Structure 1
Amino acid sequence: MGQWIIISGANSGVGLEAAKQFARMGANLILACRDPPSRETHPMAAVEECRSIATAAGHSNSTIEWWKLEMSKISSVEAFAQRWLDTGRPLDVLCNNAGMNSLARKKFTGDGFERVHQVNFLSHVLLTLRLLPSIARSDYARITCSTSCLHYIAPFDLEHFNGERGIKGDMYAINKLYFQMWLVELQQRLLQHPEYEHITINGVHPGFVNSSIWAAPEGDTKFWFRLLVFSIVVSVIGVTSEQGGLCIVNLATNPKFSKENGGGKYINRVWEDSQAGLCADKDARLRLWNKLADDMALREKGLLKLLGN
């Protein structure tokens, strides 16, 4: 394989399982993760496991590294992106996978954003836009985004975009809707520019996965009973992290999701599926695009210059 792949949230759950599969295929991997709490696999342990898998598969020369990325800090996303750009390497695959549940208490980050909103959506937007010049230099050029079937039932509520009081709906589901809408809009804009038209970006629902994403964030015990009940339900009906990880790998490697077949799609596990109607609503997508641009100062940062602002 030999391609360069960045996977956010790759030390546990579907991200780790996807990384292991990529390692077996001979990819060069950057595991983009925070320094996690003790209950999670440490990124260096994940790196060693992936290296062992790669070596056993005959790919001992593969590069597999942990680069720190804290999705709840804009400065960390910026630093990570710059570190990659400084390598001068083309990026073949970006897997926007990191995420957290919204069952614990609401909290705002140091950047002023509701943390589920920032971790699950805003930081992925920023990371993707920052890395676009590097992705554009690859002939392969794929971006996968871990979205969810929950995007079908989420409300579109830009008046409470940052989780303000009065929001109706679950922040996890809402941000999965925003993510799917945004990637459709981005794909349309990429096609308008020769430098970017070969890049494909798609969303994937990896399944209802029984993974550490459903654990309570450290110190958040307000909704412990709700979390406990949800964890039990997931353990009974959820698929394994390995199954979920394979869905990401399939989207990143399957020829039917190549540039020849276009992007801006929603993949339900391994099959293309219909998207929520809002994803096809150009006006709603434009309103979301502009809201993101304003809240994150994307125009001021020059990140929309080649995408029609």
Structure 2
Amino acid sequence: MAGTIIVTGANGSLAIPAVRYLLTNYPDYTAVLTVRSTEDSDPNTKKLRETIAKFPKAQTSIRQLDLANLSAVHDFASAIAAEVADKKLPPLASIVCNAYYWNLVGDPEFTADGVERSIQVNHISHVALVLRLLGSFGPEGGRVVLFTSDGHFSGKNGLEKYPPGIPDDLDSLLKATPESDKLGHGFKRYANSKLAILMWGYALNRYLEKDEALNKITAIVIDPGSLTDSRALRTNTPQFLHYVQRFALQPLRPLLRLKDPTMRTAADAGADVIELAANKAYPGERGYLKLLKREPSSPDSLNEDKQQKVWVKSAEWAKITKENTALASSI
């Protein structure tokens, strides 16, 4: 089943090797690759363009999409839906919600919508994108690939200082105030966004299963592992993390993997993501994976009452209504 695969944050550390893997192994797919800047003045976009240039017969396009602007996300979704309807693009086969944001060194940042940037980029804008485009999948269905991390599970990540958790006042996730401990609170904001993604993904699967028109679409929420060569460790992070990556994580990865098998390269993770997006890994299945293994997610993430609250609030935050999603019965 070929079709269109959308990848957000397509010039990222995981995404570029994932795109290369996709074009090498599944060339029949059409790839829509979104980035914040499509200009080659962005070195990461330039690298993405150089990557796809090696596949001259591939059906690819690089599109601008700023996930920190919710109106832009809705406009993009409308444009893609129109292209599918007009047969300018094949029906969707997968949406890979790869883009992310964190800031472990500065004060909280806010989007044009007045929302804390981590929760909007990582979660809310992807909610809008997915729910707006469910009706653009083909009759064979497809897959939504969402990304969480071990940060969602209290006590699992060495950067955690304050445990993640979904508060009773969900709207407080959209807000933040400057704190002296920028690393600790910045990581908590990131971890909370990853917990929200996971809980929303569980709820999404329940609604998809109940929908006769959409029940062939499955959602997988993957923790891709600790990517020792990721640019994430050098972006908006303290200097000590740069040194740890350069002098420990990368050169010692084979040894570190003996103790922690989640230590791996972005290319390894990218291959897994594409196998999921193409519905080759765990075909037709739903749920949470750590790497490509079934493991239980955190106890907090399995609370169905809170999952439902996150589901309802996420639709509200993402400005999803019965009129703009094919999953109207759940909104």
- TM-score range (shorter-chain normalised) is 0.7 to 0.9
Shift of 1:141: 0.7
Match of 1:65 in 2: 61
Query: 1-side partners of 2:204 and 2:289: how far apart?
Result: 17
- Distance change in 2, residues 1:151/1:249 (3 Å): same
Which of 280, 285, 289 is the equivalent residue of 1:267? Answer: 289
Match of 2:320 in 1: 298
SS at match of 1:110: coil
Query: CA contact under 8 A between 1:144 and 1:251: conserved in structure 2?
Result: yes
SS at match of 1:66: strand
- Percent identity of the aligned residues? 23
Query: 1-side partners of 2:178 and 2:139: how far apart?
Result: 44
Asked if 1:232 is matched to 2:243, the reply is: yes
Match of 1:222 in 2: none
Asked if 1:207 is matched to 2:225, the reply is: yes
Query: CA contact under 8 A between 1:28 and 1:63: conserved in structure 2?
Result: yes
Match of 2:112 in 1: 110
Asked if 1:182 is matched to 2:182, the reply is: no
Structure-1-length-normalised TM-score: 0.85
- Distance change in 2, residues 1:166/1:103 (3 Å): closer
Query: 1-side partners of 2:147 and 2:197: how far apart?
Result: 9
Gaps of 5+ in 2: 85-89, 155-163, 180-184, 250-262
Query: CA contact under 8 A between 2:134 and 2:326: conserved in structure 1?
Result: no
- Distance change in 2, residues 1:214/1:191 (3 Å): same
- Distance change in 2, residues 1:113/1:44 (3 Å): same
Query: 1-side partners of 2:82 and 2:145: how far apart?
Result: 23
Asked if 1:157 is matched to 2:167, the reply is: yes
Shift of 1:257: 1.9
Shift of 1:254: 5.2
- Distance change in 2, residues 1:240/1:287 (3 Å): same
Shift of 1:110: 1.0
Match of 2:182 in 1: none
SS at match of 1:122: helix
- Distance change in 2, residues 1:9/1:67 (3 Å): same
CA deviations 1:24-48 (Å, max 9, x no partner) are 1203211111117989534354134
Structure-2-length-normalised TM-score: 0.80
SS at match of 1:267: strand
Query: CA contact under 8 A between 2:68 and 2:125: conserved in structure 1?
Result: yes
SS at match of 1:84: helix
Query: 1-side partners of 2:101 and 2:41: how far apart?
Result: 15
Gaps of 5+ in 1: 218-225
- Distance change in 2, residues 1:133/1:120 (3 Å): same
Match of 1:246 in 2: 271
CA deviations 1:8-27 (Å, max 9, x no partner) are 01112001111110011203
Q: Tell me which moved more, 141-150 or 207-216.
A: 207-216
Query: 1-side partners of 2:112 and 2:323: how far apart?
Result: 19
Query: 2-side partners of 1:244 and 1:37: how far apart?
Result: 26
Shift of 1:286: 1.2
Query: 2-side partners of 1:21 and 1:301: how far apart?
Result: 37
How many residues are matched? 291
Shift of 1:133: 0.5
Query: 2-side partners of 1:10 and 1:138: how far apart?
Result: 26
CA deviations 1:201-230 (Å, max 9, x no partner) are 01111111132223335xxxxxxxx52112
CA deviations 1:108-161 (Å, max 9, x no partner) are 1110100111111111111101111012x2414111112112111221224221
Asked if 1:194 is matched to 2:212, the reply is: yes
Query: 2-side partners of 1:47 and 1:64: how far apart?
Result: 10
SS at match of 2:14: helix
- Matched to 1:241, the amino acid is A
- Matched to 1:211, the amino acid is S
